Chain A
Amino acid sequence: MKAGKTTGGPGGFGAFINREQVAGYVFILPFIIGLVCFTIIPIIISLCLSFTKYDILSAPVFTGLSNYVRMFTQDPTFWKSFRVTLFYAVVSVPLKLIMALFVAVLFYRGTRLTAFYRAVYYLPSIMGSSVAVAVLWKRLFAVDGVINSLLAFFGIDSQIGWLSRPDTAIWTLIVLSVWQFGSSMLVFLGGLKQIPVSLYEAATVDGCSRPKQFFSITLPMLTPVIFFNLIQQTINAFTAFTQSYIITNGKPLDSTLFYSVYMYRRSFEFSEMGYGAAMAWFMLFVVSVLTALIFKSSNSWVYRASE
């Protein structure tokens, strides 16, 4: 590279390094290296592996599209896990957002203890996908767990293992997800603070009731934040792993077999890395399409101040 006309540096290397762009790139170099080393290269490798049969112990063998063909045509468990994950996402994400918004609105009209409660409600989100919470959940919903003891206190004798019944197990995981509404709640709180107070004052003067204010002012003004939360939580739901892996391991009868858990099982327990990689790419495709659809739809429902 030739030394350009720059201020300060005495030409040569100094001039080169002092160029604004070059210095900038050097500053972010550590991050770039990390990104390439640990994210980009593995992603590319996984794409290559998805066209192979690879048992980790021996070298991968190129098999063309066979993993994808088998996945779509010969593996009922694949579709089962896809349906389970889809159901989980479609049910848990809206419930979680409604819960988060509800609590955020409550907190918005602050009392002295608001900060304290905000922290308390945020806690589950931090611990959210941790193993400890998963184990706690398992105990809560066990046959001899807290839920059944509470029911017994109200005179209902329940011998149900909530996580052991194919029809209730997925709901306990959904409840767990809804319980972790804290981070969405914080984003909503931030959004609420952005809404100009003058709007509410004007509405009050015009004799607008509280519920009407909520639906006509709060909700429309919040749509950008709802949009953000929706995208974030949808992606989270589709990639959920720990809850299913630790609490139920996909049981009973695969009714809680999340896509990512099945992918892990194929890759590591059945030593089919190629198949697992193919599954990962299909999931990437689905999540990308969904995100694109949400983005596309946003034009018709998200409020943008500039318009």
Chain B
Amino acid sequence: MLINPTLKKAATVLLAGVLAAGMFAGCGSGNSGSTASPAASSTAASSAASTASQAPAAGSEAPAGEATIRIAWWGNQLRNDTTTAMLNAYVAENPHIKYEAEFTDWSGYWDKLATQAASNNLPDIIQQDYAYIAQYHSKGQLANLTEQVDAGRLDISDVSESILSLGSFDGQLYALCAGVNAVGMLYNTRLAAEAGVDVPLRFTYQELMDMNAKVFAATGVRGETPGGNGGITMMSRDVGEVFFDVANGKIGSSEATVLRYFQQVKSTITSDWSVTVDVMQESSTAGVENSTLSTVKSWNTFPGGSNMMAAHQAPMDDELAMVMYPAVDDATKESMYLRPAMFFSITESSTNKEAAADILNYYTNSEAAQDLLRAERGVPVSSKMADYLSPQLEPVQQKIFAYIAEVTEVAVPFDPPQPAGANEVNKLLDDLTDLVRYGELSPEDAAARFLPEANDILAKATA
């Protein structure tokens, strides 16, 4: 009778201890940060893998090249499915390799990657964006891919030089383009036909506004002109300027260009054919499927890239087509460019760079991989693979391929990667654009504010 309560107490203490231990374990696996592991690996396996990959010596990799590759990307369900299918196919061919996939949506992705970088625990392969590669490269987080190319592990002989240059710093490749993209105007072919508007492949801002007016008069559906970073970037390129002058750490667009941009915003919003500011505002926080184009509130729109065509087309009955960006009326330079939809990089902290390079090679050069990936990240960078895949695709994908081919004919190199502080500058540009749209600020005042404030942000960000 005397022992019984003691035993009972001891048992509860033990239980509490187990609970506490469980919490510690929770702490530990939280650091390894794998949100989703389709490779059917338990938490225990994943934390074991991350310790293995951090071991400096080759001891842990003793059995002939055996390795676990962690690969991270942002995206949608379609991308998650196609990419894991490709990785499964790769692993089936290379049984000594295992993989762990970590995917999230865009907004959570960069928070997570930054945290992993801070704890020196980045995956071996990370999907990268043009807005971030400069930052990651300057902090020494990305591995030199040219070394892998020279060693014969990564074949880039079918990838054009202009595409490779966008992921290169000082002539060395750090980020391999995962798919090719181009900006342009998407429009609703039914509405254009109804209005009797024959949309040319290339046109000026004046011609664009005339088309907008014509479509509105005939169908009652409104129109758009470019705005934000995309709009001012192309206006600058039209006259041989570069919006982010990275080399000099300031805005490269001239006062005249900035003023022209805000004047265009003003003349659009005060025209009778323009999408109203109310609708614009709503669509700015809505997903692609609720865009003004997809909900037929406008007959045209200017997406971030040609790979967005499929997403815009999906919820629609009317057929879409894509043409090039408008040019300012006195354009002096070609402004159209090809750009990476996104990149893949191998991280400097990876201890399995060879195996990671082999996966990227498979992604880039294998027909089997293209069959599974379905150009979801944009047109394959290898011209050979693009030719292979093109005839098998759905109509909307074929249109994207055809558009990319058109742009390839004229494309000139793109601006350098956006510098630190670019996000804040783009936000400032959007804010001032909104102020002009709401009539709170004249184009002249907005232009006068933009350059000094943006330069100030860039100076602070690099300080």
A17 contacts partner chain B, Cβ-Cβ < 8 Å: yes
Q: Does A30 contact B (CB under 8 A)?
A: yes
B438 within 8 A of A: yes
Q: Which B residues are in CB contact (< 8 Å) with A164? A: 277-282
Q: Which of A208-258 contact B (CB under 8 A)?
A: 247-249, 251-254
A100-108, A112-120, A264-272: which lies at the interface: A264-272
Does chain A have a CB within 8 A of B16?
A: yes
- If A161-B282, A270-B423 touch, does A56 touch B118 (CB 8 Å cutoff)? yes
> A57–B23 contact, CB under 8 A?
no
In the complex with contacts A17-B9, A30-B20, A56-B281 CB distance below 8 A: no
Residue of A with least CB distance to B441: A253
Per DSSP, chain B at the interface is helix
Which residue of the partner chain B has the closest CB to A273? B114
Q: How close is B272's CB to chain A, nearest CB, in angstroms?
A: 14
> Which residues in B have their C-beta under 8 angstroms from that of A165?
278
Give the residues in chain A near B81, CB-CB below 8 Å. Answer: none
Contact (A251, B284) CB under 8 Å given A33-B24, A37-B23, A57-B117: yes
| Partner of A8 from B5, B19, B24 at Cβ < 8 Å | B5
Q: Which residue of A lies closest to B457 (CB)?
A: A270
Min C-beta distance of A173 to chain B, whole Å = 13
Binds A, one of B133-141, B143-151, B213-221, B239-247: B133-141
Closest to A23 in B: B9
B141 touches A30 (CB 8 A): no
Chain B residues 84-119 with CB under 8 Å of chain A are 110-111, 114-115, 117-118
- Taking the closest CB of chain B, its distance from the CB of A256, in whole angstroms, is 11
* Chain A residue nearest in CB terms to B136: A57
Question: Which residues of A sit under 8 angstroms from B420, Cβ to Cβ?
Answer: 55, 271
Which of B6, B110, B281 is most buried by chain A, counting CB atoms within 10 A of its CB?
B281
Q: A34 near B: Cβ within 8 Å?
A: yes
When distances are taken between beta carbons in the complex, the residues of chain B under 8 Å from A138 are 282, 285-286
The answer to whether B276 touches A37 (Cβ under 8 A) is no
Which of the residues B2, B282, B431 comes within 8 Å of A163, measured between beta carbons? B282
Q: How large is the interface on A (under 10, 10 to 19, 20 to 34, 35 or more residues)?
A: 35 or more
**A86 in contact (CB, < 8 A):** no
Residues of B1-53 whose CB lies within 8 A of A: 2, 5-6, 9-10, 12-13, 16-17, 19-20, 23-24, 27
- What is the distance, in angstroms, from B214's C-beta to the closest C-beta of chain A? 23
Docked CA distance A161–B440 (Å): 18
Q: Is the CB of B434 within 8 A of A252?
A: yes
Decide yes or no whether B435 CB sits under 8 A from chain A.
yes
B153 to chain A, nearest CB (A): 27
Q: Is residue A287 contacting chain B, with contact meaning CB distance below 8 A?
A: no
CA–CA, A270 and B434, complex, Å:
20
Structural contact, B279 and A33, CB atoms closer than 8 A: no
Q: Is B424 an interface residue (CB 8 A)?
A: yes
Contacts of B117 in A (CB 8 A): 56-57
Which residues of B have CB within 8 Å of A248? 285
> A268 contacts B136, CB within 8 Å?
no
The reply to whether B438 and A252 form a contact with Cβ atoms under 8 Å apart is: yes
User: Which A85-127 residues have a C-beta within 8 angstroms of B?
Assistant: none
Q: Which residues of the partner chain A approach B286 to less than 8 Å between Cβ atoms?
A: 138
Contact between B20 and A253 (Cβ–Cβ < 8 Å)?
no
Cβ 8 A contact of A56, one of B2, B114, B279, B280: B114
Contact string against B for A residues 1-36, beta-carbon threshold 8 Å, 1 for contact and 0 otherwise: 000000011100010011000010011011001100
Enumerate chain B residues within 8 angstroms of A10, measured Cβ to Cβ: 6
Interchain CA distance A127-B315 in the complex, whole Å: 29
Closest-CB distance, B33 to chain A (whole angstroms): 14
Q: Does A159 contact B (CB under 8 A)?
A: yes
Q: Is the CB of A142 within 8 A of B282?
A: yes
Q: Does A143 contact B (CB under 8 A)?
A: yes
B282 x A254 contact (CB < 8 A)? no
Task: Confirm or deny: A71 has a beta carbon within 8 angstroms of a beta carbon on chain B.
Answer: no
Instruction: Please judge, given known A-B contacts A30-B23, A161-B278, A163-B282, whether A253 and B16 are in contact too, CB under 8 Å.
Output: no
Tell which of B9, B10, B281, B438 touches A161, judged by Cβ atoms closer than 8 Å: B281
Distance in angstroms between the alpha carbons of A9 and B117 in the assembled complex: 51
Closest Cβ–Cβ distance, residue A20 to chain B (whole Å): 11
In this complex, the member of B117, B282, B440 whose beta carbon has the largest number of chain A beta carbons within 10 angstroms is B282
CA of A270 to CA of B12, assembled, Å: 49
**A47 interfacial contact with B, CB 8 Å:** no
Which residue of B has the minimal Cβ distance to A57?
A: B139
Q: How far is the CB of B6 from chain A (nearest CB, A)?
A: 6
**Given A57-B118, A253-B440, are A29 and B16 also a contact pair (CB < 8 Å)?**
yes
With A268-B111, A270-B424 as known contacts, state yes or no: A249 contacts B278, CB within 8 Å: no
CA distance A252 to B430 in the complex (A): 11
Q: Which residue of B lies closest to A254 (CB)?
A: B431
B residues near A163, Cβ cutoff 8 Å: 281-282
A210–B402 CA distance with the chains assembled, in angstroms: 78
Q: A37-B27, A270-B423 are in contact. Are A56 and B115 (CB under 8 A)?
A: yes
Chain B hits for A17, CB < 8 A: 9-10, 13
A37-B26 Cα distance, complex, nearest whole Å: 11
Q: Is A64 close to B, CB under 8 A?
A: no
A249–B282 Cα gap in the complex (Å)? 11
Output the nearest chain B residue to A253 by Cβ-Cβ distance: B434
A18 and B114 contact, CB distance less than 8 A: no
CB-CB under 8 A for A27 and B12, given A251-B285, A252-B281: yes
**Residues on B with beta carbons closer than 8 Å to the beta carbon of A23:** 9, 13
Contact indicator A33/B23 (Cβ below 8 Å): yes
Q: How far is the CA of A14 from the CA of B114 in the complex (A)?
A: 48
Which of A26, A57, A265 is most buried by chain B, counting CB atoms within 10 A of its CB?
A57
Q: Are A249 and B13 in contact (CB under 8 A)?
A: no
Query: Which residues of chain A are within 8 angstroms of B9 by Cβ–Cβ distance?
Result: 17-18, 23
Q: Taking the complex as formed, is A160 at the interface, i.e. its CB lies under 8 A from any CB of chain B?
A: yes
User: Which 6 A/B pairs are nearest by Cβ-Cβ distance?
Assistant: A161-B278, A164-B281, A56-B114, A164-B278, A30-B19, A57-B139
Binding site for B on A (CB under 8 A): 8-10, 14, 17-18, 23, 26-27, 29-30, 33-34, 37, 55-58, 138, 142-143, 159-161, 163-166, 247-249, 251-254, 265, 268-271
6 intermolecular pairs with C-beta atoms under 8 Å apart: A18-B9, A56-B117, A159-B278, A164-B278, A165-B278, A270-B423
